Amino acid sequence: MQYITSVLIWTGIVLLIFIWLPLLFFSRVFDRDPVKYRTGYLFRKMGLAISKINPNWQVTIDGHEKINDRNPYVVVSNHLSNADIPLISNLPWEMKWVAKKQLFNLPILGWMMRLAGDIPVDRLSSNKKIVVFKKCKFYLDRNVSVIFFPEGTRSRSGKLNRFALGAFDLAIREKKPILPLVLDGTQDCLPKQTWKFQPDVYIKLKVLDPIETTNLEPEDAPELLKTVRDAIALQLSEWRQEPISEVDATYRNQPDDGYG
């Protein structure tokens, strides 16, 4: 039965992608907004649609009602699965995603990310910080939030990995608040090395309180990182009813100074 369900879900996902690609293209052609807010928002709606066609996913979202994405924010989230992206797209916002350059080189998905105005990171580039900051600043200055996965890649264990400093450094330099997101359950959606979706997956997404950066200086970035990471770890600990040491894969380790 799960075999048939998974085949139907994947068929639905493929159909949605082929429907959304021309819609996104025409939206971009007629979108005169320099930040392409409408086009990006349309792209996120595809992620929402993908999450809705999966009958295995039961999603609970909390804390988003108080947030205005045009504030704007530097958003950060833990990263557990490829399912994180469509699940976060359940939030009724447009945010430009900071993601590795390789994704932008993929057929169809990469085209759609470029059309939406998302931000590629070339991890091999020596000036990646300058390039990413410049693009993020362009959006933030025009009241569009940006989102990072500061772990850089999906957690293989489901535990919280080390964070890179990039998002926190950016937030302080641009004097924009950090908005932490916490996800749990997506690690069970589609286990690695299988294409079959798991049944009865309970997913939680919580928007934590924003953290202001107005009075912070660049040297405060490590402390800001620690504050945000501790808050995410605490929420995971509460949800899983496990001690912090069991949800934090890098307990007591020092943060990286890179950009994931």
**Residue 253 belongs to a domain:** no
Instruction: List the chain residues with pLDDT less than 50.
Output: 254-260
- The stretches of the chain forming alpha helices (DSSP H) are 2-30, 37-52, 84-88, 101-104, 109-116, 128-140, 166-174, 221-240, 244-247
Q: Are 59 and 203 in contact (CB under 8 A)?
A: yes
Residue numbers of the domain that contains 197: 2-247
- DSSP 8-class letter at 211: B
The pLDDT of residue 258 is: 46
The reported pLDDT for the residue numbered 156 is 83
Domain count, the chain: 1
Q: Is residue 257 included in any domain, yes or no?
A: no
Domain contains 113: yes
Task: Please name the helix (run of DSSP H) or strand (run of DSSP E) that holds residue 74, with its range, or none.
Answer: strand 74-77
| Residue 255 in domain | no
Contacts (Cβ under 8 Å, ≥6 apart) of 177: 71, 73, 74, 171, 210, 211, 212, 213
Q: What is the pLDDT of residue 253?
A: 53
- Confidence (pTM): 0.92
**252 within a domain of the structure (yes/no):** no
112: CB partners within 8 A, 6+ apart: 17, 20, 21, 24, 43, 46
* 260 domain-assigned: no
Contact 240, 216 (CB under 8 A): no
CATH number of domain containing 23: 3.40.1130
Answer yes or no: is 256 within a domain.
no
Residue-wise pLDDT for 171-194, tens only, equals 999 999 999 999 999 998 876 777
Confirm whether 254 is domain-assigned: no
